Amino acid sequence: MDKSKSTVDEIRNRFDHEVERFSNLETGQSATMDAALVLDIIQQSAARLCPHARAMLDIGCGAGNFTLKLLQALPNMDCTLIDLSQRMLDRAAQRVGGATRGVVTCHQTDVRDYHPPTSAFDIVTAAAVLHHLRTEAEWRQVFQSIFSALRPGGSLWVWDMIQHDTPAIEAVMQDRFHHHLVSLEGETYRDKVLAYIEREDTATSLNFQVDVAKAAGFNRVEILHKTAIFAAYVAIK
Protein backbone atom coordinates (compact mmCIF):
# COMPACT_ATOMS: atom_id res chain seq x y z
CA MET A 1 0.00 0.00 0.00
CA ASP A 2 1.26 3.47 -0.92
CA LYS A 3 1.91 5.16 2.43
CA SER A 4 1.31 8.58 0.86
CA LYS A 5 -2.32 7.63 0.25
CA SER A 6 -5.23 7.51 2.70
CA THR A 7 -5.90 4.24 4.45
CA VAL A 8 -9.19 2.41 4.01
CA ASP A 9 -10.23 3.58 7.49
CA GLU A 10 -9.52 7.21 6.59
CA ILE A 11 -11.57 6.96 3.41
CA ARG A 12 -14.39 5.27 5.32
CA ASN A 13 -14.37 8.04 7.90
CA ARG A 14 -14.68 10.75 5.23
CA PHE A 15 -17.64 9.07 3.60
CA ASP A 16 -19.31 8.49 6.98
CA HIS A 17 -19.62 12.28 7.12
CA GLU A 18 -20.82 12.77 3.51
CA VAL A 19 -24.11 10.84 3.62
CA GLU A 20 -26.41 13.82 3.17
CA ARG A 21 -24.47 15.19 0.18
CA PHE A 22 -24.48 11.82 -1.58
CA SER A 23 -28.21 11.32 -0.98
CA ASN A 24 -29.22 13.70 -3.76
CA LEU A 25 -29.69 12.20 -7.23
CA GLU A 26 -29.08 15.55 -8.91
CA THR A 27 -26.23 17.07 -6.91
CA GLY A 28 -24.63 14.17 -5.02
CA GLN A 29 -21.74 13.95 -7.47
CA SER A 30 -21.43 17.58 -8.48
CA ALA A 31 -17.62 17.50 -8.52
CA THR A 32 -17.80 14.59 -10.96
CA MET A 33 -18.43 16.26 -14.31
CA ASP A 34 -21.59 15.27 -16.23
CA ALA A 35 -22.79 13.00 -13.40
CA ALA A 36 -26.50 13.56 -14.05
CA LEU A 37 -26.04 12.94 -17.78
CA VAL A 38 -24.11 9.74 -17.13
CA LEU A 39 -26.80 8.51 -14.73
CA ASP A 40 -29.32 8.88 -17.57
CA ILE A 41 -27.06 7.24 -20.16
CA ILE A 42 -26.36 4.23 -17.96
CA GLN A 43 -29.99 3.87 -16.93
CA GLN A 44 -31.27 3.94 -20.50
CA SER A 45 -28.50 1.74 -21.88
CA ALA A 46 -28.80 -0.87 -19.13
CA ALA A 47 -32.57 -1.06 -19.64
CA ARG A 48 -32.10 -1.66 -23.38
CA LEU A 49 -29.25 -4.13 -22.96
CA CYS A 50 -30.66 -6.07 -19.98
CA PRO A 51 -34.46 -5.62 -20.11
CA HIS A 52 -35.07 -8.77 -18.07
CA ALA A 53 -32.49 -8.11 -15.36
CA ARG A 54 -33.44 -9.69 -12.05
CA ALA A 55 -30.47 -8.88 -9.83
CA MET A 56 -27.84 -6.16 -9.57
CA LEU A 57 -24.73 -5.46 -7.52
CA ASP A 58 -23.78 -1.87 -6.70
CA ILE A 59 -20.09 -1.60 -5.74
CA GLY A 60 -19.38 1.45 -3.60
CA CYS A 61 -23.09 2.18 -3.55
CA GLY A 62 -22.83 5.32 -1.44
CA ALA A 63 -26.34 6.47 -0.58
CA GLY A 64 -27.81 4.35 -3.39
CA ASN A 65 -28.17 6.84 -6.23
CA PHE A 66 -27.14 4.56 -9.10
CA THR A 67 -29.30 1.69 -7.86
CA LEU A 68 -32.29 4.00 -7.49
CA LYS A 69 -31.78 5.32 -11.01
CA LEU A 70 -31.65 1.83 -12.50
CA LEU A 71 -34.72 0.74 -10.55
CA GLN A 72 -36.69 3.49 -12.29
CA ALA A 73 -36.18 1.65 -15.59
CA LEU A 74 -35.69 -1.91 -14.29
CA PRO A 75 -38.11 -2.20 -11.37
CA ASN A 76 -38.11 -4.71 -8.55
CA MET A 77 -34.65 -6.17 -9.03
CA ASP A 78 -32.90 -7.87 -6.13
CA CYS A 79 -30.20 -5.39 -5.10
CA THR A 80 -26.91 -6.18 -3.39
CA LEU A 81 -25.15 -3.10 -2.04
CA ILE A 82 -21.57 -2.89 -0.82
CA ASP A 83 -19.75 0.09 0.62
CA LEU A 84 -16.98 0.93 3.08
CA SER A 85 -19.28 3.19 5.08
CA GLN A 86 -22.00 1.66 7.25
CA ARG A 87 -23.75 5.04 7.38
CA MET A 88 -23.88 5.12 3.58
CA LEU A 89 -25.19 1.55 3.52
CA ASP A 90 -27.90 2.33 6.07
CA ARG A 91 -29.14 5.25 3.98
CA ALA A 92 -28.90 3.25 0.73
CA ALA A 93 -30.80 0.32 2.23
CA GLN A 94 -33.55 2.64 3.42
CA ARG A 95 -33.90 4.35 0.06
CA VAL A 96 -33.53 1.26 -2.14
CA GLY A 97 -35.80 -0.83 0.10
CA GLY A 98 -38.57 1.66 -0.55
CA ALA A 99 -38.05 1.49 -4.32
CA THR A 100 -38.10 -2.26 -5.02
CA ARG A 101 -40.09 -5.33 -4.04
CA GLY A 102 -36.93 -7.34 -4.57
CA VAL A 103 -34.53 -8.45 -1.85
CA VAL A 104 -32.03 -5.81 -0.66
CA THR A 105 -28.77 -7.19 0.74
CA CYS A 106 -26.01 -5.03 2.24
CA HIS A 107 -22.34 -5.77 2.93
CA GLN A 108 -20.01 -3.33 4.65
CA THR A 109 -16.74 -4.23 2.96
CA ASP A 110 -13.95 -3.19 0.64
CA VAL A 111 -14.44 -4.43 -2.93
CA ARG A 112 -11.00 -6.04 -2.70
CA ASP A 113 -12.27 -8.21 0.14
CA TYR A 114 -15.72 -8.98 -1.28
CA HIS A 115 -16.28 -12.43 -2.79
CA PRO A 116 -19.57 -12.35 -4.71
CA PRO A 117 -21.42 -15.54 -5.58
CA THR A 118 -20.82 -16.97 -9.05
CA SER A 119 -23.29 -16.07 -11.83
CA ALA A 120 -25.54 -14.20 -9.41
CA PHE A 121 -26.06 -10.84 -11.12
CA ASP A 122 -27.29 -9.44 -14.42
CA ILE A 123 -25.89 -5.96 -13.76
CA VAL A 124 -22.94 -4.66 -11.75
CA THR A 125 -22.38 -0.93 -11.26
CA ALA A 126 -19.22 0.77 -10.01
CA ALA A 127 -19.55 4.55 -9.87
CA ALA A 128 -16.66 6.70 -8.62
CA VAL A 129 -15.16 3.83 -6.63
CA LEU A 130 -12.55 1.92 -8.64
CA HIS A 131 -10.11 4.84 -8.45
CA HIS A 132 -9.47 3.67 -4.88
CA LEU A 133 -7.69 0.60 -6.25
CA ARG A 134 -3.93 1.05 -5.95
CA THR A 135 -2.21 -1.58 -8.08
CA GLU A 136 -2.62 -3.39 -11.38
CA ALA A 137 -2.98 -6.64 -9.45
CA GLU A 138 -5.94 -5.22 -7.54
CA TRP A 139 -7.62 -4.09 -10.76
CA ARG A 140 -7.20 -7.54 -12.29
CA GLN A 141 -8.48 -9.28 -9.15
CA VAL A 142 -11.57 -7.09 -8.90
CA PHE A 143 -12.48 -7.37 -12.59
CA GLN A 144 -12.05 -11.12 -12.52
CA SER A 145 -14.31 -11.31 -9.46
CA ILE A 146 -16.97 -9.16 -11.16
CA PHE A 147 -16.77 -11.22 -14.34
CA SER A 148 -17.36 -14.42 -12.36
CA ALA A 149 -20.30 -12.83 -10.51
CA LEU A 150 -22.13 -11.93 -13.71
CA ARG A 151 -24.48 -14.25 -15.55
CA PRO A 152 -23.85 -14.83 -19.28
CA GLY A 153 -24.86 -11.64 -21.08
CA GLY A 154 -24.46 -9.64 -17.89
CA SER A 155 -22.78 -6.26 -17.83
CA LEU A 156 -20.50 -4.08 -15.72
CA TRP A 157 -21.21 -0.32 -15.82
CA VAL A 158 -18.35 1.94 -14.73
CA TRP A 159 -18.28 5.70 -14.24
CA ASP A 160 -15.01 6.96 -12.82
CA MET A 161 -12.00 9.20 -12.88
CA ILE A 162 -9.40 8.43 -15.52
CA GLN A 163 -5.89 9.50 -16.42
CA HIS A 164 -4.65 10.12 -19.96
CA ASP A 165 -1.64 8.33 -21.40
CA THR A 166 -0.33 11.46 -23.17
CA PRO A 167 0.96 14.10 -20.69
CA ALA A 168 -0.01 17.09 -22.83
CA ILE A 169 -3.60 15.84 -23.13
CA GLU A 170 -3.73 15.02 -19.42
CA ALA A 171 -2.71 18.61 -18.66
CA VAL A 172 -5.52 20.01 -20.82
CA MET A 173 -8.10 17.71 -19.22
CA GLN A 174 -6.92 18.57 -15.71
CA ASP A 175 -7.26 22.26 -16.55
CA ARG A 176 -10.84 21.67 -17.67
CA PHE A 177 -11.61 19.85 -14.43
CA HIS A 178 -10.05 22.61 -12.33
CA HIS A 179 -12.15 25.23 -14.13
CA HIS A 180 -15.24 23.11 -13.47
CA LEU A 181 -14.53 23.02 -9.75
CA VAL A 182 -13.96 26.78 -9.59
CA SER A 183 -17.24 27.35 -11.43
CA LEU A 184 -19.07 25.33 -8.78
CA GLU A 185 -17.84 26.91 -5.57
CA GLY A 186 -14.66 28.88 -6.18
CA GLU A 187 -10.94 28.35 -5.74
CA THR A 188 -11.13 27.20 -2.09
CA TYR A 189 -13.49 24.39 -3.07
CA ARG A 190 -11.21 23.48 -6.00
CA ASP A 191 -8.22 23.21 -3.71
CA LYS A 192 -10.17 21.09 -1.20
CA VAL A 193 -11.31 18.63 -3.87
CA LEU A 194 -7.86 18.38 -5.45
CA ALA A 195 -6.30 17.75 -2.03
CA TYR A 196 -8.47 14.75 -1.25
CA ILE A 197 -8.07 13.40 -4.78
CA GLU A 198 -4.30 13.55 -4.31
CA ARG A 199 -4.61 11.86 -0.94
CA GLU A 200 -7.22 9.19 -1.73
CA ASP A 201 -7.37 8.41 -5.43
CA THR A 202 -5.24 6.58 -7.99
CA ALA A 203 -6.52 7.26 -11.48
CA THR A 204 -5.68 4.90 -14.36
CA SER A 205 -6.12 5.37 -18.09
CA LEU A 206 -9.25 4.37 -19.94
CA ASN A 207 -7.09 2.23 -22.24
CA PHE A 208 -5.74 0.36 -19.21
CA GLN A 209 -9.23 -0.28 -17.84
CA VAL A 210 -10.48 -1.58 -21.18
CA ASP A 211 -7.47 -3.92 -21.40
CA VAL A 212 -8.10 -5.22 -17.87
CA ALA A 213 -11.77 -5.84 -18.67
CA LYS A 214 -10.93 -7.81 -21.80
CA ALA A 215 -8.23 -9.79 -19.97
CA ALA A 216 -10.83 -10.74 -17.35
CA GLY A 217 -12.96 -12.28 -20.10
CA PHE A 218 -15.44 -9.58 -21.09
CA ASN A 219 -16.40 -9.92 -24.75
CA ARG A 220 -17.07 -6.27 -25.51
CA VAL A 221 -16.35 -2.89 -23.98
CA GLU A 222 -18.36 0.13 -25.14
CA ILE A 223 -17.33 3.68 -24.22
CA LEU A 224 -20.51 5.52 -23.24
CA HIS A 225 -19.26 8.99 -22.38
CA LYS A 226 -16.05 10.88 -21.68
CA THR A 227 -15.44 14.37 -20.40
CA ALA A 228 -12.13 15.78 -19.13
CA ILE A 229 -10.85 13.33 -16.51
CA PHE A 230 -14.01 11.19 -16.26
CA ALA A 231 -15.33 8.36 -18.41
CA ALA A 232 -18.20 5.90 -18.48
CA TYR A 233 -18.16 2.49 -20.15
CA VAL A 234 -19.88 -0.87 -20.11
CA ALA A 235 -18.14 -4.25 -20.23
CA ILE A 236 -20.35 -7.07 -21.48
CA LYS A 237 -19.90 -10.73 -20.61
pLDDT digits (tens, 9 = 90+) for 3-31: 577 677 766 666 655 656 555 555 446 67
The pTM score is 0.91
Tell me what pLDDT residue 45 has.
98
Q: How far apart are CA 14 and CA 24, in angstroms?
A: 17
Query: Taking the C-alpha atoms of 76, 97, 43 and 60 in order, what is their torsion angle to the nearest 10 degrees?
Result: -130
Tell me what pLDDT residue 196 has.
83
Where on the phi/psi map is residue 227: left (φ > 0), alpha (ψ -120 to 50), or beta? Answer: beta
Domain ranges across the chain: 8-163+202-236
> 226 Cβ partners below 8 Å, 6+ apart?
162, 206, 232
pLDDT score of 157 more than 60: yes
Contact predicate 156/150, CB 8 Å: yes
Q: How far apart are CA 164 and CA 151, in angstroms?
A: 32
Query: Distances from the Cα of 34 to the Cαs of 27, 138, 216, 225, in angstroms?
Result: 11, 27, 28, 9
Q: How far apart are CA 129 and CA 52, in angstroms?
A: 26
Tell me what pLDDT residue 1 has.
47
Residue among 159, 25, 166, 8 nearest 83 (CA):
8
Tell me what pLDDT residue 27 has.
45
The CATH class, in words, for 8-163+202-236 is alpha beta
Tell me what pLDDT residue 14 has.
66
Where on the phi/psi map is residue 234: left (φ > 0), alpha (ψ -120 to 50), or beta? Answer: beta
Q: What is the pLDDT of residues 168-226, one digit of tens each?
A: 999 999 999 999 999 999 999 999 999 988 988 899 999 999 999 999 999 999 999 99
- Cα-only R_g, the chain: 17
pLDDT score of 227 more than 50: yes
Chain-centroid distance, C-alpha 89: 15
Averaged pLDDT, 109-135: 95
Contact predicate 87/16, CB 8 Å: yes
Q: What is the pLDDT of residues 51-83, one digit of tens each?
A: 999 999 999 999 999 999 999 999 999 999 999
